[in-house]
């Protein structure tokens, strides 16, 4: 006799599988996230001049998008946390499509949001994560301190895309300059979410910190490459990421008051 699982359990399995599939797609194909990250470790002469923007593409697709779908596959009851991160990145990509004159960025963002809707529909149940404002003032201060610098960085990346600044680094028909701008804006937006929303604080905070740290290291190693922001700012980027990670990992940081 076949075992008849409750419908919500079947939906949860489908949601987990979809999350895992989407995670792989962003990390490998067609997202090329791991591929772009791999060339930043020991880059050949072909890639040395574009390490930070290659890192940026890989971080956005693998860490921010793929990582959120991994979270969905592992913790479907906390799907809302992953959804907020993905939708925020999708918003940043949409802004980048306009500000950087790169229509492909809109397609990328729309794809990510569409996948969130698919997973949410498959899960087909209430989730355990509530939406309420719970300000962490240390994290709010940390986010505010860095917001201007990250937004200025994003604006410069958008200008580089509009101006066809060299080098031309293309993935999926999109110039990396525009996606780098989206990454800078995503850091600003996600840091704000981390400061205001306790349930997503640790996962989103660690994701954002990891991006700032890795991008800072890449920029420090290759200060003259496309997307680099100088060794002083690179050190500050790493320090900001470390401080953010520490704050979100403190006991009680993710507990809504």
pLDDT digits (tens, 9 = 90+) for 102-111: 999 999 999 9
Cα–Cα distances in angstroms (integers) from residue 51 to residues 38, 73, 109, 226, in the given order: 10, 30, 23, 7
- Judge whether residue 187 has pLDDT over 80: yes
- Which tens digit of pLDDT belongs to each residue from 31-83? 999 999 999 999 999 999 999 999 999 999 999 999 999 999 999 999 999 99
| Separation of first and last alpha carbons in the chain | 49
- Judge whether residue 95 has pLDDT over 60: yes
- Which tens digit of pLDDT belongs to each residue from 149-159? 999 999 999 99
For residue 3, name the pLDDT band (cuts at 50, 70, 90).
very low
Contacts of 71 (CB under 8 A, 6+ apart): 19, 78, 81, 82, 203
- Judge whether residue 6 has pLDDT over 60: no
- Judge whether residue 7 has pLDDT over 60: no
Per the rule left: phi > 0, alpha: psi between -120 and 50, beta: everything else, 145 is alpha
Contacts of 2 (CB under 8 A, 6+ apart): none
Weakest-pLDDT range from 99-103, 107-111, 132-136, 238-242: 132-136
- Judge whether residue 2 has pLDDT over 50: no
- Judge whether residue 91 has pLDDT over 80: yes
What per-residue confidence (pLDDT) applies to 128? 64
- Judge whether residue 30 has pLDDT over 70: yes
Question: What average pLDDT does the segment 216-243 reach?
Answer: 97
Q: Where are the domains of the chain?
A: 8-249
What per-residue confidence (pLDDT) applies to 32? 95
For residue 226, name the pLDDT band (cuts at 50, 70, 90).
very high
Question: What average pLDDT does the segment 238-242 reach?
Answer: 98
Do the Cβ atoms of 15 and 75 come closer than 8 Å? no
State the average pLDDT for the chain.
93
Which DSSP symbol is given to 171?
Answer: E
Rg of the chain over Cα atoms, rounded to whole angstroms, equals 18
- Judge whether residue 257 has pLDDT over 60: no
C-alpha 148/C-alpha 68 separation (Å) is 26
pTM here is: 0.93
- Judge whether residue 18 has pLDDT over 80: yes
Q: Which residues pair with 174 in a beta bridge?
A: 171
Per the rule left: phi > 0, alpha: psi between -120 and 50, beta: everything else, 230 is left
Alpha helices in 39-99 (DSSP H): 45-48, 51-58, 67-74, 79-99
């Amino acid at each position: 006799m076949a075992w008849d699982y409750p419908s919500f359990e079947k939906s949860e399995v489908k949601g987990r599988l979809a999350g895992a599939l989407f995670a792989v797609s962003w990390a490998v194909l067609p997202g090329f996230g791991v591929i772009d990250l791999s060339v930043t470790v020991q880059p050949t002469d072909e890639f040395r001049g574009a390490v930070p923007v290659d890192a940026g593409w890989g971080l956005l697709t693998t860490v921010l998008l793929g990582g959120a779908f991994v979270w969905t596959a592992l913790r479907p009851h906390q799907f809302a946390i992953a959804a907020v991160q993905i939708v925020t990145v999708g918003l940043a990509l949409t802004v980048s499509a306009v500000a950087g004159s790169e229509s492909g960025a809109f397609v990328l963002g729309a794809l990510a949001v569409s996948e969130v809707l698919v997973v949410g529909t498959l899960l087909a149940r209430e989730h355990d994560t509530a939406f309420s404002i719970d300000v962490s003032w240390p994290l709010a201060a940390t986010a505010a301190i860095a917001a201007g610098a990250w937004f200025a960085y994003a604006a410069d990346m958008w200008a580089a895309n509009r101006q066809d600044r060299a080098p031309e680094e293309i993935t999926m028909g999109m110039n990396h300059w525009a996606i780098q701008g989206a990454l800078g804006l995503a850091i600003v937006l996600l840091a704000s979410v981390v400061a205001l929303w306790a349930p997503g604080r640790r996962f989103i905070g660690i994701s954002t910190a990891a991006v700032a740290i890795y991008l800072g290291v890449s920029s420090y190693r290759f200060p003259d490459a496309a997307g680099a922001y100088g060794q002083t700012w690179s050190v500050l980027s790493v320090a900001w990421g470390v401080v953010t990670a520490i704050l979100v990992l403190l006991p009680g940081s993710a507990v809504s008051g």
